[in-house]
Structure 1
Amino acid sequence: MKTRKIPMAAVSLLLFIVMLVSACSNEASPNNGNNKAADAPDATNANADTAVSQAFPRTVTSANGEEVTIAEKPQKIVLVHWGLTQDLLGFDLPSIAVTLPFTANPSFLDTEVYKPYVEKFDEVTVVGENTAVNLEALLQYEPDLILAGSVTNKDITEQLSQIAPTILIDEEKTNVWTDWQSVITQFGVILGQEELAKQTIDEFTAEVEQVKQQLSSVEGTVAYLQVRDKTIWLQGTNYAGDYYEPIGLKAPEEAKGDGIELTLEGLAAIDPDHLFLGYFNYNDKSLPALSDEWEKSEVWKKLKAVQKDQVYAINGELSYGYGPISRINGLKAIADALK
């Protein structure tokens, strides 16, 4: 995977570079060496490429009301909303640039779960971390199209539109943190890959139904904890809803909604029958986890889930992520633990 990180330039330098790139692009040939649309399609993907090519040109309305016309299949796409990265990974694209939720090194894209998704791209470039977008790196990537969030990226929308056509996902109409199905449906419309988006949603729906059947005999309440080094959170139904009612599992009353930060005494008051510890140090046990201290106490040892040997460790960073990759892997982890 190719990544590039370049220090953030000053705004004045950015504007100068934008004008310079614009002037150069007016003189350049439209079929330069970086334009993969000018190349003959790979024979193995000929049918898919033909279907996508027939979908263009298309006009998409951005969240700000601007109509953006996409003349042909974009070859280089930037996604600057850090929370939607995995929503883009399932699409058929030659090259993408993304911002990451945490850090570029190490990156969750380098993990075994994400490798099959990442390796199908010719290029994956990192252009920021969380809400900090490296505009200079983005410029050097030379995108055909930029995808952004109307709220998350509102402060840089003008700069983005100066670099390439920019489409904003309306975060006031779509809860991008819980409704990944709507996000990838919108991506499918933008990219001319509606069927691929639908296929992903259908596969997830089938997985939910299969897991529900597998866990039909599970009794009692189930609690999912997000375990950090200094804090532990009860995952609420607003954010981990896929793991409760849709698969036939009962949430504690305290988990209905956004969830809450827990103390050990607070967990004892909830006292669930089944307890999932979603570790954020799952892949690196040298990092601390608050539950390590809790497990030494008598209060912990008296929990119903502990006494019944119904405490399960899962990868919290993966399972609690936003998007189909996280959710499908989370469902499988839960099914493996409970069945």
Structure 2
Amino acid sequence: MKYASTIFASIALAGLLSAPVLAREITHSMGVTDVPDNPQRIIVLTNEGTEALLAVGITPVGAVKSFLGNPWYDHIAADMADVVVVGEESAVNLELLVSLEPDLILGNKMRHEKIYEQLSAIAPTVISERLRGDWKINMELYTDAAGVGEKGKAELAKFDARIDALSAELGDALNEQISIARFMAGQTRIYYKDTFSGLILNEIGFKRPATQDKDDFAEEITKERIPELEGDRLFYFNYETGNGEADSQAADWTADPLWQNLNVVKAGKVHAVSDAIWNTAGGIIAANIMLDEIEKFYGVAPTR
């Protein structure tokens, strides 16, 4: 208890000593917070939030570790070389946050509601509501809080323009029903429409098989339900953390007779894609790379 008290006393003191000049009010999921007009030392506590900042030219002083990578996803590693790892999305190192003297903290209610008061004692803290398919909503909030809201909107507008251009290029290919699966250690899931890749595919205009046409997140399935993965094209990704268990799960399932009997498998329209890009990173940089990959899979002209 004495140790915990010391931590919180340090947090409170750091908040007082590093208090910035507050210039704007930001309304977010936990209330209204006064934030600096031009924050210079931002800490971001979600993977998708990290991409939101990088996309508008802001490098955070601290960020939570990428779910995959050491410590960052390959597609952002070069831009994050000097960024301090401040824990994981669900396990933030508060003492380290204090030492970095941030003037703005960005987080998410699903991950950080319980530590919001401690975060707010360190620096002005802005919290988005949800994760999953809400990356665009969250990016607007994060970039607004960072004082570059117009840049954030411009990047989102460019992405939406790519969606429209890609949809036009695909034409009749949009009649394909797209199936999505994920392999994890000892677990397989069907991914529905309230997911990162599900939302993007829906925006492009692709259809989903009837068994997957749900405004839900995901569902764990057993091998007996492999036929529910039937579609005109199937994308799957492995959440492989380095112990080989997700890859083993994928190898086991894709060798199963029920999998091999899927028409989409027989047609050669099954694609293994990156879990980081199609699911875990969850931000605008990954979203643009996902569009690049779809263009290549379908052989259409690049939209950027």
* TM value normalised by structure 1: 0.75
Question: Is residue 2:99 matched to residue 1:106?
Answer: no
Conservation of the 8 A alpha-carbon contact between 1:60 and 1:69: yes
The yes-or-no answer on 1:202 pairing with 2:167 is no
Among 132, 135, 138, the residue aligned to 1:180: 135
Counterparts of 1:314 and 1:149, CA distance in 2: 27
Written as runs of structure 1 = structure 2, the 5 A alignment for 1:73-112 is 73-81=38-46, 84-93=49-58, 95-102=60-67, 106-109=70-73, 111=74
Quote how far apart the aligned CAs of 1:238 are. Answer: 1.4
Counterpart check, 1:223 vs 2:151: no
Q: Compare 327-336 and 85-94 and name the one that shifted more.
A: 85-94
Q: CA deviation at 1:295?
A: 2.8
8 Å Cα contact 2:63-2:85 kept in structure 1: yes
Partner amino acid, structure 1, of 2:212: A
What is the match of residue 314 of structure 1?
273
Which residue is 1:332 aligned to? 292
Pair 1:118 & 2:80 matched = yes
* 1:168-223 Cα shifts (integer Å, max 9, x gaps): 33x1xxx4321212111112221221221012111211221232233223244210
CA distance in 1, matches of 2:164, 2:153: 17
Give the TM-score, by structure 2 length. 0.83
Point out where structure 1 has 5 or more consecutive residues left out of the alignment.
1-8, 31-55
Aligned in 2, Cα 1:65/1:288: closer, same or farther, shift over 3 Å? closer
Does residue 1:152 correspond to 2:111, yes or no? Answer: yes
Count of equivalent residues: 292
1:123-142 alignment runs, 5 A limit: 123-142=82-101
- Contact 1:62 1:68 (C-alpha < 8 Å) held by counterparts: no
Q: Give the percent of matched residue pairs that are identical in Structure 1 and Structure 2.
A: 24
- Matched to 1:76, the amino acid is R
Letter in 2 for 1:118: M
Alignment map for 1:235-254 (pairs within 5 Å)? 235-239=191-195, 240-254=197-211
Say if 1:99 and 1:127, in contact at 8 Å, map to a contact too: yes
AA aligned to 1:73 is N
Question: Conserved in 2, the CA contact under 8 Å of 1:83 and 1:177?
Answer: no
Of 178, 188, 203, the residue aligned with 1:232 is 188
1:212 counterpart residue number = 167
Cα 1:233–1:151, aligned 2, differ >3 Å: closer, same or farther? closer
C-alpha distance in structure 2 between counterparts of 1:243 and 1:15, whole Å: 41
Q: Equivalents in 1 of 2:201, 2:272: separation in Å?
A: 17
Letter matched to residue 68 of structure 1: D
Distance 1:141 1:290, change over 3 A: same
Q: Is the 8 A contact 1:238 1:256 kept in 2?
A: no
Contact 1:81/1:131, CA 8 A, preserved across alignment: no
For 1:108, what is the secondary structure of its paired residue? coil
> In 2, Cα distance between the equivalents of 1:203 and 1:317?
22
Take 1:108 and 1:95, find their aligned partners in 2: how far apart are those partners?
13
Cα distance, 1:244 vs structure 2: 3.0
Given the superposition, is the C-alpha separation of residues 99 and 313 from structure 1 closer, same or farther in structure 2, using an over 3 Å criterion? same
Q: For residues 12 and 80 of structure 2, what CA distance do their matches in structure 1 show?
A: 33
Larger Rg: 1
Q: Distance in 2 between matches of 1:62 and 1:247?
A: 29
- Check whether the contact 2:181–2:189 (CA below 8 A) recurs between aligned residues: yes
* Pair 1:208–1:160, CA change in 2 (3 A): same
Letter in 2 for 1:327: A
Letter aligned with residue 162 of structure 2: E
User: 1:249 aligns to what SS in structure 2?
Assistant: coil
What letter matches 2:187 in structure 1? T
Contact kept? 1:215, 1:248, Cα under 8 Å = no
Distance change >3 Å, CA 181–CA 75, structure 1 → 2: same
CA contact (8 A) 2:56 2:155 kept: no
Query: CA offset at residue 22 of structure 1?
Result: 6.0
| In 1, Cα distance between equivalents of 2:16 and 2:257 | 70
Shift in CA distance, 10/84, structure 1 to aligned 2, threshold 3 Å: farther
Give the counterpart letter for 2:201 in structure 1: Y
Aligned to 1:61: 27
Paired amino acid for 1:323: G
Q: Read off the aligned partner of 1:191 and give its amino acid letter.
A: A
For the aligned residue pairs, the C-alpha RMSD in angstroms reads 3.0
